[in-house]
Structure 1
Amino acid sequence: MAVIFKADAGDYMVAAENLRKDENSIWLVAPTNFMRSHAIELLLKAVLLANGRTLDYCRKKIGHQLFEAMNEAETFGLVLTDQTKNVIRTLSPLHEDYTFRYRPSKPYAFPNQAVATEAVTELFDRVDAIVQSKCLAP
């Protein structure tokens, strides 16, 4: 499942980048951040799955809590820059309360698009190394 989650996260990353590059991207901030946040969720859960956590655990215990998933993934050797951790910290409550799915009337802050893209790319590369070593090693 870790390999599948990582692959699916890659697809969400591509979709988010395609939206970000659209000339009307200012109107696509919520969908772009939704896809980016979901990619982060899948990547963090891929680390947990690669290290023996079950799908049921990921669904019920972690849910959509990106910050909790990141903290647990770090205990399994995931190392991220402070910038990437800050992006995940910023997106975590917004992802957990479905802000990007059902936008609230109150204002909210989200990461700079370029910084968020860098963060997800870093996360993907670090997770890829973990998943490869745990799941695809001979």
Structure 2
Amino acid sequence: MPKLSYCGNDCSVCPRYTATEKGDIPQLKEVADLWFRAEWRDTVVSPEEIKCYGCLTSNFCRYGIQQCASSKEIDNCGMCPSYPCEISSKTFIQTQKYADSIKDKCSNEEYLALQLAFFQKKMNLDGLHSK
């Protein structure tokens, strides 16, 4: 069963989230290296810094989706009657840019993991919204 974030990321297959849940320090180190190569971090951070416990209302959300969904008291955009909206549409555009920009910065296996976790937001949310 997928564990979707506010924006539609699938935490249940995210290497960062799953390594955190398992307490897998070597995997967290690999994730920190991948996040650096993907240019999602300026440096390779410590396993402690890269840990992720999913979307929390105290976390920073670069898209503003978390704040919007929290204010509407919904778990994610797919549950919103206004979906898709301007915020989610901008998020999907940016996500595609990220997907395109990292293909040459990681292995095929790493890219597939990121694709499943992050680059299928729209598909994940569309599926929820249609129900």
**TM-score interval w.r.t. the shorter chain?**
0.3 to 0.5
TM-score norm. by structure 2 comes to: 0.33
**TM-score between both structures, scaled by the size of structure 1:** 0.32
